[in-house]
Structures are given as C-alpha cells and as structure tokens.
Structure 1
Amino acid sequence: MNRQENQLKKWFAENGFGQLPIFSKVVITNPHTGIKSIPPNVNLSQKVIHKEVLPSKIIQIETNISENQISEKQLKKSIRLLKKASVRSGSSILDRFQINKEDVATGVFCPGCNLLPMIRVKRTWHCEACRRNYKEAHINAIKDYSLIFGTSITNRELRSFLQIESITVATRILNSMELPHTGGYKNRKYELISIDNKNKGF
C-alpha cells in the first residue's frame, strides 16, 4: 500500500500537480475477518479497516483537507489524466503465478458466509450453510472471471464457471447484465469490461 501511495505521489508530481494530499487505506470487505498483527502494531487500526468504517474515515479525511490544497479544476484535471493513463494489465494472472486453469475454484461465493459454491434455485442463489438467498451473487463471480480469464465470456464458459447447467438460465443472466456482445447466437461472446454493480440478476 505504501509503495502504491508513493508511486501515485510521484505520478502526480511528474504530471504537474505537485504534492496532492493522498490518504491510503486497506479495506477488508468481509465483516467476519479479524484484523490483528504479530507483534502488535498500534497503527494497524488506522491503516487496515473494515468496510463499515470506511464512510466515517472518508468524512474524517475530508474534514482535515483544507480547501486551498487542491482546487476543483485541479481535481477534475487529475481525474481526466488518471482515466487516460489507466490501462488493463496485458499479462495473464494464471501465467504470472503459474496456475493451471483447472486449479481455479469455480462457483458463486456466498456474500454472507463465503461458502463456495452456492446453488441456483429458481431465480436466486441459495447458500446451504447460512440458508440465505442472494439474487445478484453471480455478479462478483463474473467480475472474478474477467480478472482471471479475460474480458470476454461465452454461454458455455459462464455455465462452467458458475456451475449451472441450463443454457436458458445462463442466457438470461448474460442478457440481464446488458453486456456488449459479438457473434451470432451459437458463438456469441459477451464483453466484461463494463460490469456494473447496478446490473440486476434473474
């Protein structure tokens, strides 16, 4: 995290922004994860936090930033440059870490207890461990797929990764996400670059 913060500071300086205020945090999304260091580190709670604490940390940061540190014009310019400079990694995660495709765990994780896999029941995902249902649990799984295997997916690949058998259900999921696609019905590929949490699952 510190390395990334220093790299971002350097990038801002090289692009004419000087020393912009940068605040870095490690955010743990699973509320059941314990945070502890050995030996104890008194600064750990300031840098590594649960997601529930993030909103209050953002408010605290905004309160501590003076208006003259960065103007709205500078902020908008920095956003434009960051978007322009952002590129997807060209190397495969599987190749980089020498992982076989067959060794990747497939299925849909339960957002509540992290059970893998959940099962598809009607138009929702059911967890047999905590007994909860989630309609959109597949979205994070498809995001994981795009990071591991690439930015396109077929109906067959989706069924294999989500562990569902029905071609119709897979088609319904893909169509509901309104993803750009190429090819005809039998060889259609869906682009995963713009997956949005607002997509609704069916």
Structure 2
Amino acid sequence: MILRKRNKPLPLQKYEALQARLPANSEHHPLIERQIEHATRGYQGELHTDKYLTIPSTRFTILKDVCLVSDKQTFQIDTIVITPNALYIIEVKSLRSNLTFDTNLDQFITGSGNRQSGYNHPITQAKAQKLKLQNWLFEHNQPNIPIHIFIAISDPSTIINVIGDHEKIANTVTHSENIPWKIIEYEKQYTTNQKYQHQKIGHVLLRHCKDFDLDILTEQGILPGQLIPGIRCHHCNHLGMKRVKQSWVCPSCQYNDRMAAIKGIDEYLLLVKPWVTNKEILNYLNIDSRYTVSRLLKKHPRLQYSKRRRRWERIQV
C-alpha cells in the first residue's frame, strides 16, 4: 500500500516560477537554472525508482518523499518501505557519471580519468538518516523495528565501481530495478515470529509528514517587488495572458487556460507567502479590475477570508 505519493518538490516548483518572473538580464538566472536542472534530475530519478516499487507495494507499506522533524531538526528520506519484519530507507542518486566507492579510504568519487570529483558519501548520509529516523520513532513511541538502508542508482547506464570491500557496497548500493529483490532477500532472513504492524507505523509517519520547503526568495536575496507581474502561461512561460470570455489566452503561443489566474494565485502563495490581499493579487497578476480579483479570490477552493486580519489565507489541508 502506498500511503504517501510523490509530488513535484516545492523548491522545484518555486524555482520554475521564479525563473519566469525575473528580468532576462538578472544575475540570478545562472544559479536558478542550475538549481532547476539539479532538482529536475533528482525528481526524475526518484520517479524512475518509484516504477520498480509497484512490486512490493502490494504487500508492504510505502511512503515517498518523507520529511519529518526530530529534536527540532528537519530531515528528508526519499522513500520508506515498511514490512512486517523491518523498515527500509531508500535514498536515490541520479548521477550519470561513473561512480567509485572506496571502502579503504571511505571515499565516494564520481567521473573517471582526469575528470573526477569527490562528493559526500551517500552511505554515510543514509546512515545519518537512519539514526534520525530511529530517534524519531523512539520519540513517537513506535516499536524498535530493524532499519536497513539502500542507495538506489537511478540511471541504468551508470557504472558502479568499488575499491576494497565489494560485498560491503553490494549489500547497500544497487541500480533502482534491483531494489525490490534486495528487499525480498532481506525479508527471507527473518525467521522470528515477531511481526510489526507495518500499516500502523506507516500511518503514524504519514500524520507527521510535511512537504519539504525552502524560502528561495530570501535564499536568493530577491524581494517580491522585483518579480515581473502578469498571469503566467504554463505552456510557454510568457507573462501576460489576456482575459477572453471565461478563460485566459496567451498572446505568445495562443494557449487557452481557464484556470490560469487561479494558478497565478497559487504561485503567489507558493513563492511569496501563504496569505494575500486583493491589492497584492491585483498587482502580482497585473489585473486592472478589482471586481475580477475579488471574484477570483472568492472562487479559489483553498482560500478563506479572515475578517480580523482582512486578508485571504490558505486553508491548511
């Protein structure tokens, strides 16, 4: 059973929206483009790995894109699989170059020949996630279930090299398509009668899960007033869709989108802050009719008006 599905990461959504609303000559574009490329590659790698988890999902409990808080520290786990015997942490790596795990020096190297780079060791990172999750389970009075870690290499063309103890790496690191079989192999080793209520543990995790988020405007040193206003076309990213009858049309690519203005409000809530006034949306979407803005905000399915604060606030789902 898949309790928590994977959605496009909020930081990636924010970077894509921010990229479209900055002037073409903005100094921020190179960094934002790198962030989008990195986040997109990671997201696609996670989706690729998810395809192979349909096999264990019929028997076990799965949560994707898990973000929890333990001892006031936020930590993320790409995927958690819970069985009657154990819990499995799956961390996805979407690196396309050759990978080398050196167990003698405890190093992780990407590339080959003269084009090699050292990175944070993914096994060390996964072990840290394991410790944080163990602490979290203890804090929430959950059973001391065994936890195993896997590093899933999403690109099947990536070559995995090992210097030193091959078995040590092979037990943890593999291509994504092998993950279900690794889990099944581990499950065969459990012969005790003690079984864990994997669905119950999964629901406890789900209740405390949140979406990982970043304040990218503050991170990039950008003020809301620096964003270019207008209703964004989600087909070509052009800013300035025009109202035509009951819809919005892009003058650049002629794309028609009845929900374009609602998406624009959602984008403001995502990018700037979780509440908004009529005037702020009027300026952000560059709409010249207060009546139109008022009607859009009243129509929005995830907003409610606070009379005390005199603003529209996002409903917590």
TM (norm. structure 1) is 0.60
Structure 1 residue 135 and structure 2 residue 258: aligned?
yes
Q: 1:24 to 1:94 in 2, by over 3 A?
A: farther
Q: 1:162 to 1:136 in 2, by over 3 A?
A: same
- Determine helix, strand or coil for the equivalent of 2:248: strand
- Determine helix, strand or coil for the equivalent of 1:156: helix
Corresponding residue to 1:14 among 132, 135, 156? 135
- CA displacement at 1:183 relative to structure 2: 2.4
Q: 1:181 to 1:23 in 2, by over 3 A?
A: farther
Paired residues in the alignment total 159
Contact kept? 2:152, 2:179, Cα under 8 Å: no
1:192 aligns with 314
Structure 1 residue 182 and structure 2 residue 306: aligned?
yes
Higher mean alpha-carbon deviation, 132-141 vs 155-164, is at 132-141
Contact kept? 1:94, 1:100, Cα under 8 Å: yes
User: How far apart in 2 are the matches of 1:13 and 1:163?
Assistant: 49
Structure 1 residue 94 and structure 2 residue 222: aligned?
no
Q: 1:127 to 1:81 in 2, by over 3 A?
A: same
1:56 aligns with none
- CA displacement at 1:11 relative to structure 2: 3.5
Q: How does 1:17-96 map to 2 (within 5 A)?
A: 18-19=146-147, 42-43=157-158, 71-83=198-210, 93-96=216-219
Q: 1:77 to 1:108 in 2, by over 3 A?
A: same
- Percent identity, aligned pairs only, is 25
- Determine helix, strand or coil for the equivalent of 1:125: strand
User: How far apart in 1 are the matches of 2:290 and 2:178?
Assistant: 48
Corresponding residue to 1:103 among 213, 219, 226? 226
- CA displacement at 1:173 relative to structure 2: 0.6
- Determine helix, strand or coil for the equivalent of 2:209: helix
TM (norm. structure 2) is 0.41
- CA displacement at 1:191 relative to structure 2: 0.3
The RMSD of aligned alpha carbons is 4.0
- CA displacement at 1:147 relative to structure 2: 3.0
Query: Partner amino acid for 2:206?
Result: I
Q: 1:100 to 1:134 in 2, by over 3 A?
A: same
- Determine helix, strand or coil for the equivalent of 1:169: helix
**Which structure has greater strand proportion?**
2
1:158 aligns with 281
Contact kept? 1:120, 1:164, Cα under 8 Å: no
Unmatched 5+ stretches in structure 2: 1-41, 47-74, 78-125, 138-144, 159-176, 188-195
Deviations along 1:131-188, one digit per CA (max 9) or x if unpaired, are 121011223322221233211111111111111111111111111114211128xx83
User: How far apart in 2 are the matches of 1:110 and 1:143?
Assistant: 14
2:237 aligns with 114
Max radius of gyration: which structure?
2
Deviations along 1:36-58, one digit per CA (max 9) or x if unpaired, are xxxxx934xxxxxxxxxxxxxxx
Higher relative contact order (CA 8 A, sep 6+): 2
Q: 1:150 to 1:70 in 2, by over 3 A?
A: same
User: How far apart in 2 are the matches of 1:21 and 1:165?
Assistant: 55
- Determine helix, strand or coil for the equivalent of 1:180: strand
Contact kept? 1:152, 1:191, Cα under 8 Å: yes
- CA displacement at 1:117 relative to structure 2: 2.5
User: How far apart in 1 are the matches of 2:208 and 2:257?
Assistant: 37
- Determine helix, strand or coil for the equivalent of 2:312: strand
Q: 1:120 to 1:63 in 2, by over 3 A?
A: farther
Contact kept? 1:155, 1:171, Cα under 8 Å: yes
Contact kept? 1:109, 1:116, Cα under 8 Å: yes
